[in-house]
């Protein structure tokens, strides 16, 4: 089977980028033909393992053709970007023209049996309009649902286009319901495929004996990911700085990123910034981490939690629907869920709730540090059993079956 993958973001810098790279790896291993059309800045090169250069094309931003930065699927990206909500009508027209031309070119060159686009958003809508005769699968990553909320002026165009897809892949059961409700897509067209982790990279190893207890966060350094909340909680903790150390792995852009950087650098005895890490580097960090924390206010199905659990980390994460789909309800030996108050927007708490949230997270962190200082042994329990269905090999097997079903019609 010849599969054309579409991604309107840089490949390999965000969750959707790693998702696409992983699908390409598994598809190539299964002897499928693969081709990738993705976004990059002018002059940039991002090599994709298992993909030959002749089977990859880039839509170039900051170029004469597209004289602006890549619009991010999140308003804060780990690289310089612009927001879809801030694009002018002329910029949107240019975006559509260039993307449609590049999609046409990729289809003409590769002649795919199936198109697999990422995000229920503009690029996917364009593909559906241009090639209704080619089976189209769209993966939802959660950020597309958030953009639908933030960019109501684009909603009708996006929804009408994405409804034409032959099949939709959801990350979780909760997300399947959201997609059906917001996009008007029948449940019968939506499959819950989930996301996966690379078991060849992420596996348990002997943890260093504390102190310090190593705490790891990996992701964008932004407010919606809860990084500012986490740093304020660390600042307020009434425990010895020598008893723990927080490592922030990731990057960001804009004022939120700068605010997080300043706060982190003011606590250099307790907090270190690693910058962006490759999957191999992240795997090594996780093998050394005792606690992995994901204090996000919004997530789809966070792949990084699978990676952390597989690496033997105790996980602390907000009790979002996608998180609970991985961890199950309630705390366990390997998991501690962080209760969120009602949010003001889809990914922001009310300002009035922040002081109490900081105090509560500070207390919970101190408890976990004390607990792990005494006992490193833990049982992954039900979450460990669930993980077996979410290796990339298993996830791709489900998606491959979906491809075959759609191609047979």
Domain residue spans of the chain: 2-196+391-407, 213-388
Q: How far apart are CA 298 and CA 23, in angstroms?
A: 24
pLDDT of residue 345: 83
Q: What superfamily in CATH does domain 213-388 come from? A: Glycogen Phosphorylase B; (3.40.50.2000)
Beta-carbon contacts of 288 under 8 Å, excluding residues fewer than 6 positions away, are 207, 208, 214
pLDDT digits (tens, 9 = 90+) for 74-113: 887 888 899 999 999 999 999 999 999 999 999 999 999 9
Q: Strand 71-72 vs strand 136-139: parallel, antiparallel, or unpaired? A: unpaired
Lowest mean pLDDT among 183-192, 236-245, 248-257, 319-328: 319-328
Inter-residue contact 220 to 76 (CB < 8 Å): yes
Q: 2-196+391-407 and 213-388 share one CATH topology?
A: yes
**What mean pLDDT comes out for the span 233-251?**
92
Provide the b/e sequence for 349-366 (b: ≥16 CB within 10 Å).
beeeeeeebbeebbebbb
- pLDDT at res. 398: 95
Strands, E assignment, 171-218: 190-192, 213-218
| Structure-token pair, residue 387 | 């993980």
Q: Is the pLDDT of residue 241 over 90?
A: no
Averaged over 245-249, what is the pLDDT?
A: 97
Share of the chain above pLDDT 90, in %: 68
Residue 235 is predicted with a pLDDT of 95
| Letter string b/e over residues 172-201, b meaning 16 or more CB atoms within 10 A of that residue's CB | bebbbebbbebbebeeebbbbbbbbbbbeb
Question: What local confidence, expressed as pLDDT, does residue 76 receive?
Answer: 78
Classify residue 235 by its DSSP letter: H
Contacts of 342 (CB under 8 A, 6+ apart): 350
> Per residue in 6-19, pLDDT tens?
999 999 778 889 89
Burial of 240 (0-12, 13-18, 19+ CB in 10 A): exposed
Confidence of residue 375 (pLDDT cuts 50, 70, 90): low
- Tell me what the mean pLDDT of segment 310-335 comes to: 80
Is residue 385 very low, low, confident or very high in pLDDT (cuts 50, 70, 90)? Answer: low
Write down the pLDDT at residue 176.
95
- Two tokens at 95? 């975006």
Q: For 161-165, 245-249, 296-300, which range has the lowest pLDDT when averaged over its residues?
A: 296-300
Q: Does residue 272 carry a pLDDT above 60?
A: yes
Q: What is the pLDDT of residue 277?
A: 92
Task: Specify the pLDDT at position 271.
Answer: 97
The answer to pTM > 0.85 is no
Topology given in CATH for the domain delimited by 2-196+391-407:
Rossmann fold (3.40.50)
Euclidean distance between CA atoms 399 and 287, whole angstroms: 29
pLDDT (average), residues 177-188: 96
Other CB atoms within 10 Å distance of the CB of residue 229: 20
H or E stretch at 246: strand 244-249
> What pLDDT, on a 0 to 100 scale, did the predictor assign at position 298?
84
Is residue 302 predicted with pLDDT exceeding 90?
A: no
Q: Look over the chain and give the mean of its residue pLDDT values, rounded to a whole number.
A: 91
């Amino acid at each position: 089977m010849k599969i054309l993958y579409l991604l309107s973001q840089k490949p390999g810098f965000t969750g959707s980028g790693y998702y696409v790279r992983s699908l390409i790896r598994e598809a190539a291993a299964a002897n499928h033909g693969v081709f990738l059309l993705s976004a990059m800045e002018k002059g940039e090169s991002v090599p994709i393992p298992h993909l030959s250069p002749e089977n990859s094309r880039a839509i170039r931003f900051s170029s004469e053709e597209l004289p602006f930065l890549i619009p991010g699927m999140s308003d804060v990206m780990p690289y310089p970007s612009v927001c879809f909500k801030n694009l002018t009508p002329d910029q949107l027209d240019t975006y559509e023209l260039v993307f449609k031309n590049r999609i046409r070119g990729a289809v003409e060159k590769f002649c795919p049996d199936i198109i697999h686009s990422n995000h229920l958003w503009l690029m996917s809508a364009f593909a559906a309009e241009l090639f209704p005769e080619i089976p189209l699968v769209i993966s939802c990553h959660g950020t597309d649902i958030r953009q639908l909320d933030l960019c109501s002026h684009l909603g009708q165009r996006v929804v009408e286009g994405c409804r034409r897809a032959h099949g939709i892949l959801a990350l979780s059961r909760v997300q399947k319901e959201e997609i059906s409700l917001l996009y008007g897509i029948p449940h019968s067209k939506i499959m819950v495929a989930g996301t996966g982790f690379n078991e060849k990279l992420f596996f348990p190893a002997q943890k260093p004996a504390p102190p310090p207890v190593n705490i790891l966060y990996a992701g964008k350094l932004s407010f919606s990911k809860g990084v500012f909340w986490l740093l304020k909680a660390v600042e307020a903790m009434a425990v010895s700085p020598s008893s723990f150390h927080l490592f922030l792995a990731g990057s960001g852009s804009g004022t939120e990123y700068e605010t997080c950087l300043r706060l982190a650098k003011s606590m250099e005895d307790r907090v270190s910034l690693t910058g962006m890490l490759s999957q191999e580097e992240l795997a090594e960090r996780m093998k050394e981490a005792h606690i992995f924390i994901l204090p996000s206010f919004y997530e789809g199905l966070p792949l990084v939690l699978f990676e952390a659990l597989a690496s033997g980390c105790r996980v602390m994460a907000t009790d979002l629907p996608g998180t609970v789909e991985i961890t199950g309800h309630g705390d366990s030996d390997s998991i501690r869920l962080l209760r969120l108050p009602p949010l003001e927007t889809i990914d922001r708490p009310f300002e009035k709730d922040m002081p109490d949230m900081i105090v509560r997270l500070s207390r919970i962190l101190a408890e976990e540090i004390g607990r792990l200082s005494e006992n490193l042994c833990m049982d992954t329990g039900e979450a460990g059993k669930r993980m077996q269905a979410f290796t990339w090999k298993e996830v791709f097997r489900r998606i491959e079956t979906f491809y075959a079903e759609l191609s047979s019609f």
